Amino acid sequence: MSLISPEFKLIADWIEPTSHVLDLGCGDGTLLNYLQSTRQTRGYGMEIDPQKNIQAMMNGINVIQSNLDGQDLINYFDPNSFDYVIMTQALQVVRRPDILLDHMLTIGKQIIVTFPNFGHWKMRAQLLLKGRMPETDTLPYHWYDTPNIHLCTFNDFEDLCEEKDIEVVARSVVNNQHQSNLGIRLMPNLMGEVALYKVQRK
């Protein structure tokens, strides 16, 4: 199992003990396993990758192989089935993040998402000064092989929440070591590299 990332620790802080949790794009199940042992949660992971499915199963996770671009969430689960639906670093790879958000908010009372910020100054600088698509530690891909097809900035995401009547319950903006600092607190969209959002229907 991978080491517990600072991001997962931050997420665990937001989870009430013994909650019912669904983790979308659960990978090898590290987060769910961590939540099960530290927060006594129960629930399921969903993951499309066969290899990661096997790893998640080895980690003792209930994993349902599924494609988040489909209708699986609402086909499998009734409204309000989960206390939390979590998706870490995957919003940007799905075909319609807006529709997925709706589905997550249907089956979950609260949702927690994390994603990289395309508004970070390094991105802006590369595009502005070099005239090239940015490649950074947070987003280490070429424009042609990136799985990230719907990158957004924190401002973009919050605009979408506004439009959809989604309330931001909590937000944590950090650098790529998952630390916060004064700059990030003052200018999150310019200085923050990763954001964790906890949101719910208004």
Which positions touch another protein (CB under 8 A)? 20, 44, 50-51, 53-55, 57-58, 60-66, 75-78
**Rounded distance between C-alpha atoms, residue 190 and residue 123, angstroms:** 9
- Using a 10 angstrom Cβ sphere, with 0-12 exposed, 13-18 middle and 19 or more buried, the burial of residue 70 is exposed
H/E run at residue 167? strand 166-174
Q: How far is the CB of 70 from another protein (least distance, A)?
A: 10
Pairing of strands 194-201, 108-116: antiparallel
Q: How far is the CB of 43 from another protein (least distance, A)?
A: 9
Residue 76 or 121: the one with the smaller Cβ distance to another protein is: 76
**Rounded distance between C-alpha atoms, residue 16 and residue 38, angstroms:** 10
Other Cβ atoms closer than 10 A to 200: 14
Residue 5 or 62: the one with the smaller Cβ distance to another protein is: 62
Residue 66 or 117: the one with the smaller Cβ distance to another protein is: 66
Q: How far is the CB of 16 from another protein (least distance, A)?
A: 17
Residue 20 or 109: the one with the smaller Cβ distance to another protein is: 20
Q: How far is the CB of 44 from another protein (least distance, A)?
A: 8
**Rounded distance between C-alpha atoms, residue 56 and residue 78, angstroms:** 24
Residue 78 or 163: the one with the smaller Cβ distance to another protein is: 78
Q: How far is the CB of 50 from another protein (least distance, A)?
A: 4
Interior/surface letters 91-110, b for 16+ CB within 10 angstroms, e for the rest: bbbbeebeebbebbbbbbbb
Note the Cα 143 to chain centre separation in Å. Answer: 21
Per the structure block, which two tokens stand in for 156? 């973009």
Q: How far is the CB of 96 from another protein (least distance, A)?
A: 21
